[in-house]
Structure 1
């Protein structure tokens, strides 16, 4: 289980390749599934689905970040082949998850009693809300009672095995749901039934893959209860992580609820369409980079600070370039995509759309978050509290006056203050142990470089007008032209002045030569 530099790279590449393979398959299927949902079941039911999903995300806050704390706690015993500690740590997680699942069940029952008040503007039969909530709640509870042991695969840089199971079955589930929407007379009933069936199947498959890879892993709730005091760091990190998770929830999940409070489920669904595009983009970058994060934790466990700093600079550079490329493409061709996908009636105005693009770019560039997680640095609990208050307060205040534009502006302001300013300072001060001013300077250099590239690309090709795009072939061709030219110009500019991109380029060249 201990990992050398070479095997770290091999595992990271394998994780990335498998994630990318399923990413493209699931992305296409998800968009087709959402289109079928809108056409057959209607935009109102889709809006309800989005609102219920966000309510469940609120319930899952009770997880408190235990999974992240456990993952951090596993890096060292995995590196040292300490099977006894691994069993005890995962048993602690199981015991904590069992109690959390019981709490979620109780809160879920209370929430369902309040549905007539929470969803008073709902034009659909109330049973739709209850059936949807119970289905998704059941799926969520399986993760707490059954699948907690899967964390050893991701911590041990075997995320690709999780991906094969979860994404493979998700692909089959989406295909089945599309099929019943078009072919079954039971429509939404059958859609929900497939959701339940595949939740059970996924839980069983994950149990099997963990057993096949770690047959010695014998965990129990009793062992976790008996040994949790021995691993006090898990509880202390969990308490710190709760505030970070709360902030993340408010940042990512409350916007649809605030939009619903001020407008209608229809606007929630339109916003949800854009969020599906954004989540697809973020999933793409996650597929590329998620396999690297356990390797960072393994590298930190080795204790070579110079190597960690160099990897940080490489990671920062290539992550910024990737974020800029996909965000530029979203900005230049996103509305044309929506027009082709669901129709021109579902396009947002330019100002709100531009805010979504900027927020997407900032969320993709969360390099510091990945390293803070690998270091286990969560003690700045005042920061997520302040971020949550700023985010929620400004979203509600500005949303009252400016509707969707105001809500998104509140999110953006909180991101600038805490993601761009505070977190880099905290990481450099307590993790990397180097001055943060270099980070800020490089970040501004990246922004100027990307702005120059965007101006040059638009000058050469012009903006993509949604009304001028008549087919998917036109859209793909225009988007590819913009992507290639923007990325090429950006890379050349960065290569001329930034060591991080040159370090990363040299690493790739060496890897290719070995092949």
Structure 2
């Protein structure tokens, strides 16, 4: 089957951006309503439950990534029989995973009080709240989750975006009404559970109409099943790494510093993760296309594309870092009040974390697209253990600052260099010595651009949304102009311009 990588990536980016914008603004409104109707402790609880369930999702073991990767070649070859057999295996795996998550979730329940420092909000039952969150996760696996692999492997994530936009509208309206009228967190979570179920059901219906010839029937040969299981085992360490880095911070903060500090931390992280979500649209939209390219194109062509992506990610992440440095504190003061803001040193840590995270997303994009999980299996585990160890030590001396700094150190000193090495040795079959000088140049330029932008914007006054909006415009303009002046003669810049033109042309 011939797939237009540029066309599908363009379409996925457009609809993914609309969905991300929608899913950033609406939850932000809901989060604000919750702060002023229920209180910061509820936000802390919500974050804690999310982190616990992310740990439980380790049982997924990377099945989704392994199955999607296994479909790339059959789709190119139009091997319907094999695709159907893969879907059946995927269906079995996800039914088992949902059951295991339910069992482990129930086992953890008695230990919930040990993960909360201080008091919980009055007149609530943390066990009931936890059960509602748990079943929302379990249903996401039980209800037709295996259908998602088809749209992802066919580079049609725009379908998922449309379904989420439609059902999300009803979810947010109902949740806002419940918070305003009833101030009932139990009903709030029930709506979330129902919405997740409807998203899976509607996606399955649409997938059946688009790809009627693909049904969960047939059986793979023993060797194919063993190969997939090997990929799943290799992905397990990557899953552990991601969960520990993303979830351990919240659990450690809750256990040592309390729900209010956790809520303050997550207010900052919510803004950070919202922007991460927008940038991730590019990565998610290109994953299947890069997987296809790795199969069909030469190593030199793939390395050339990788250099272009490095340039694009550096520019996007750099502009975001400039905006974070300038806008974080004034925005948080307006949103949640001066008493709920964190120190500027923590803001700097968040900025470094964001920049390194986005570069890591690029390296992991190529790693996942090429399916080199076996070669990369130890790196995420070592990075995660480093992060967790540093978390438990530094939180006792430096509090919240120590937790965030630990995450940055583990990524910069362990995870990132190791991942670059694995990608170059396995995907591009070349030394990374030619790439590193270019990477360090990008990093240095970003640091200079951020410093200049922050210094200039510091002369602008604070106070209210008008001045915040003014700062945002000035910050975005200055940082982009600086990048343009530095890079406009660069070959990668010229090729990026041509790429953007082609993508826009494909949408017409």
Instruction: Give the TM-score of the pair, scaled to structure 1.
Output: 0.93
Output aligned runs, 1:366-515, within 5 Å.
366=360, 367-379=362-374, 380-462=376-458, 468-496=461-489, 498-509=490-501
Q: Which residue of 1 is the match for residue 263 of structure 2?
A: 269
1:180-195 correspondence runs (5 A): 180-183=178-181, 185=182, 187-195=184-192
The alpha-carbon distance between structure 1 residues 211 and 440, as it changes in their structure 2 partners (threshold 3 A), is same
Deviation, 1:273, is 0.4
- Of 232, 242, 245, 2:226 maps to 232
Does the 8 Å CA contact 2:114/2:255 hold for their aligned counterparts?
no
Residue aligning to 2:332: 338
RMSD of aligned Cα (Å): 1.9
* CA-CA distance at 1:106 after TM superposition: 0.9
Which residue in the other structure is 2:355 paired with?
361
1:158 to partner: Cα distance:
0.3
Per-residue deviation, 1:109:
1.0
Distance 1:111 1:313, change over 3 A: same
How big is each residue's C-alpha offset from its partner over 1:51-97, in whole Å with a ceiling of 9 and x where there is no partner?
11111111001101111111111111111111111111121111111
1:258 equivalent in alignment to 2:252: yes
- Displacement of 1:511 in angstroms is 5.3
Structure 2, unpaired ranges of 5+: none
For residues 252 and 479 of structure 1, what CA distance do their matches in structure 2 show?
28
Q: CA deviation at 1:440?
A: 1.2
Q: Give the drift of 1:459.
A: 4.4
Residue of structure 2 equivalent to 1:2:
2
What are the equivalent positions in structure 2 for 1:46-445 lying under 5 Å apart? 46-119=43-116, 121-124=118-121, 127-146=124-143, 147-183=145-181, 185=182, 187-219=184-216, 223=218, 229-366=223-360, 367-379=362-374, 380-445=376-441
**Change over 3 Å in CA distance of 1:127–1:182 after alignment to 2:** closer
CA contact (8 A) 1:94 1:144 kept: no
Secondary structure at the counterpart of residue 386 of structure 1: helix
1:160-209 CA-partner distances (Å, limit 9, x unpaired): 011111243224312221121112x3622321221122122212111111
CA contact (8 A) 2:102 2:135 kept: no
- 8 Å Cα contact 1:321-1:491 kept in structure 2: no
Note if contact 1:336-1:469 (Cα within 8 Å) is conserved in structure 2.
Answer: yes
Question: Is the 8 Å Cα contact of residues 179 and 185 (structure 2) preserved in structure 1?
Answer: yes
Secondary structure of residue in 1 paired with 2:125: helix
Structure 1 pair 503/89, CA: closer, same or farther in 2 (3 Å)?
same
Q: Quick one: structure 1 residues 438 and 419, their matched pair in 2 at CA, closer, same or farther if it must change by over 3 Å?
A: farther
CA contact (8 A) 1:92 1:228 kept: no
Distance 2:457 2:183 in 1: 48
Q: Deviations over 1:426-455 (max 9, x none)?
A: 111111112201221111101121222223
Gaps of 5+ in 1: none
CA shift for structure 1 position 119: 3.9
Q: How many residues align?
A: 504
SS at match of 1:114: helix
Partners of 1:72 and 1:374 within 8 A in 2 = yes
Partner secondary structure for residue 105 of structure 1: helix
